[in-house]
Amino acid sequence: SNPGSAFPGPKTDGFSKSGFILAAIGSSVGLGNMWKFPYITGKYGGAAFFLLFIICLIVVGLPILLAEMAIGRGGRGNAASSLFNITGKKQWKWVGAISVVTSFLIMSYYGVVAGWTLHYTVGSFSGALNKPGTDYSATFTAFAGGYMPLFWQAVVMLITGVIIAKGISGGIEKFNKVLIPGFLIILVILMIRALTLPGAAAGVEFFLAPDFSKLSAASALTALGHAFFSLSLGMGCMLTYGSYVQKDQSLGKATLAIGAGDLIYAFIAGMIIFPTIFSYGMKPEAGVGLAFMALPAAFAQMPFGFLFGGLFFLLLAIAALTSCVSILEVPVAYAMGEWKWSRKKAAVIVSVASFIIGVPAALSVGGVLSFITFADKSIFDLFDFVTSYILMPVGGLIVTIFTGYAWKRAGDEVGLSGWWYRIWMFLIRYIAPILIILIFLYSVGLLNL
């Protein structure tokens, strides 16, 4: 009756079962696991916070992850059309299209940081960024404030664009199948190195010693917000990947595997970062300061530091690139579906556009555009803030409302039955939306805790 809502049918290109799991882990494991998770864990109560994070992951993150993948597979479209295909209602297409905007904005600053990791990988292996006695804070400030980051950002967009242009099975799946297992090997090597450094125990203690007195509403909401970012939720990414999943793959099992993968990588990252930092007498910091200032200074003093430092930044680069690919696939799938562009054309135009949108972000970290601020936030920080704390929670809320209230046959697609289905539906209908609204109000400063 409604030709626009006709199901496009099975796609010709898609993931194998293991390829999907690896690609989804590649998406979720990213810069968030490597520098944000360990730091907030240390700050908000160590093992006590870790426990809280696991609870948030189980109660909110995994149910939404499952819902997103199911929407993609059930609707067989892109982040916007899948919602329309399922309900036949045009409004849902517009609601879904918000995620396409979100993905562009995330890509613009995430690609900049991914570029920095490439610069530090090359610099560490070559020794240029691995000289004892250097002031690595000044080194980073000079680098980020110049024009070099634009070059590296362009390299990131080029790599991402080429992989996406090759398609799902021949591009995204292959890329992740090689990189994600390789990633685990490097991670374990670095963890052994870090844990055998003198004084490593102090770092492990900072990371994991449980301190229940630090748990508060603020730490709970931080845990929840991070569960979102870390699982790549609320921006159409898992939905788009889900549209390439085979009908007989178990989405429930995939959800558990992705959640476990995300958690394991975050845990090992903490077991590398803190022992290294503490062993060389440095203070743990957040984000940029931790990865690009404190760690290079520590690696510069370590025997064979160029090698370990190089491997560490290579790890960050891989984590970032496998996430970049998943972010950019959202607008690429949208352009292919809505405007009938070929995959190659979409990949080229979307990567160039992301590069252009990212230029102001790249030049605002101490560079020529750092004078532009919005409520004390640089353009870079603004993109991060708006996406992580406003657009992604809104996207997540949309997924819960769509799945819980608009999609009558969600249960058939997720493949849960009996009590599992009831518990999942309860979380999606009531618990997840309420908690998301709380994080949202808290992050925009309307809720004081």
* Rounded (10°) angle between helices 392-401 and 217-230: 80
Identify residue 112 by its one-letter amino acid code: V
Residue 72's nearest CA partner among 254, 230, 342, 226 is 254
Count CA within 13 A, CB hemisphere, residue 350.
Answer: 34
Among 21, 22, 31, 113, binds ligand PHE (CB under 6 A): 31
Among 235, 391, 428, 435, binds ligand PHE (CB under 6 A): 235
- The nearest distance, CB 83 to ligand PHE, in angstroms, is 18
Tokens representing residue 157 in the block: 């967009």
Contact between 232 and ligand PHE per CB under 6 A: yes
- The nearest distance, CB 54 to ligand PHE, in angstroms, is 16
Close Cβ partners of 305 (under 8 Å, ≥ 6 residues apart): 124, 130, 298, 299
Confirm if 22 and 173 have CB atoms less than 8 A apart.
yes
Contact between 33 and ligand PHE per CB under 6 A: yes
- Residue in the structure block whose two tokens are 């290579």: 314
Q: Closer CB to ligand PHE, residue 157 or residue 300?
A: 157
Confirm if 96 and 84 have CB atoms less than 8 A apart.
yes
Helix (H) or strand (E) holding 98: helix 90-126
> What sections of 127-216 are H helices per DSSP?
136-144, 148-165, 173-195, 200-208
Distance CA 373, CA 379 (A): 7
Residue 308's nearest CA partner among 195, 190, 204, 196 is 190
Tokens representing residue 151 in the block: 């070059």
Among 14, 19, 26, 30, binds ligand PHE (CB under 6 A): 30
C-alpha dist (Å) from residue 164 to 20, 173, 282, 413: 15, 10, 40, 27
Taking residues 77 to 116 in sequence order and writing x for each that binds ligand PHE by CB under 6 A, - otherwise, the string is -----------------------------x----------
- The nearest distance, CB 445 to ligand PHE, in angstroms, is 23
- The nearest distance, CB 151 to ligand PHE, in angstroms, is 22
Q: Look at residue 377 and give its three-state secondary structure.
A: strand
Find the binding residues for ligand PHE in span 316-375 (CB under 6 A).
323, 326-327
Contact between 72 and ligand PHE per CB under 6 A: no
Q: Closer CB to ligand PHE, residue 249 or residue 323?
A: 323
Q: Closer CB to ligand PHE, residue 113 or residue 302?
A: 113
Confirm if 443 and 225 have CB atoms less than 8 A apart.
yes
How many helices (H) and strands (E) the chain has is answered by 23, 0
- The nearest distance, CB 28 to ligand PHE, in angstroms, is 5
Confirm if 243 and 77 have CB atoms less than 8 A apart.
yes
Contact between 28 and ligand PHE per CB under 6 A: yes
Q: Closer CB to ligand PHE, residue 186 or residue 447?
A: 186
Distance CA 148, CA 164 (A): 25
Q: Closer CB to ligand PHE, residue 50 or residue 229?
A: 229
Q: Look at residue 408 and give its three-state secondary structure.
A: coil
* Residue range at the interface with ligand PHE (CB under 6 A); choices 224-232, 277-285, 347-355, 426-434: 224-232
Close Cβ partners of 390 (under 8 Å, ≥ 6 residues apart): 440, 443, 444
Q: Closer CB to ligand PHE, residue 70 or residue 392?
A: 392
Distance CA 26, CA 401 (A): 27
Distance CA 389, CA 446 (A): 13
Q: Closer CB to ligand PHE, residue 221 or residue 416?
A: 221
Among 50, 140, 207, 229, binds ligand PHE (CB under 6 A): 229
- The nearest distance, CB 110 to ligand PHE, in angstroms, is 7
Among 23, 27, 136, 365, binds ligand PHE (CB under 6 A): 27
Among 81, 99, 160, 230, binds ligand PHE (CB under 6 A): 230
Number of residues that bind ligand PHE (CB under 6 A): 15
Identify residue 210 by its one-letter amino acid code: P
* Residue range at the interface with ligand PHE (CB under 6 A); choices 27-35, 281-289, 347-355, 395-403: 27-35
- The nearest distance, CB 229 to ligand PHE, in angstroms, is 6
Q: Closer CB to ligand PHE, residue 307 or residue 357?
A: 357
Contact between 241 and ligand PHE per CB under 6 A: no
Q: Closer CB to ligand PHE, residue 293 or residue 324?
A: 324
Q: Closer CB to ligand PHE, residue 78 or residue 130?
A: 78
* Residue range at the interface with ligand PHE (CB under 6 A); choices 176-184, 204-212, 230-238, 365-373: 230-238
- The nearest distance, CB 7 to ligand PHE, in angstroms, is 26
Binding region for ligand PHE (CB under 6 A): 27-28, 30-33, 106, 229-230, 232, 235, 237, 323, 326-327
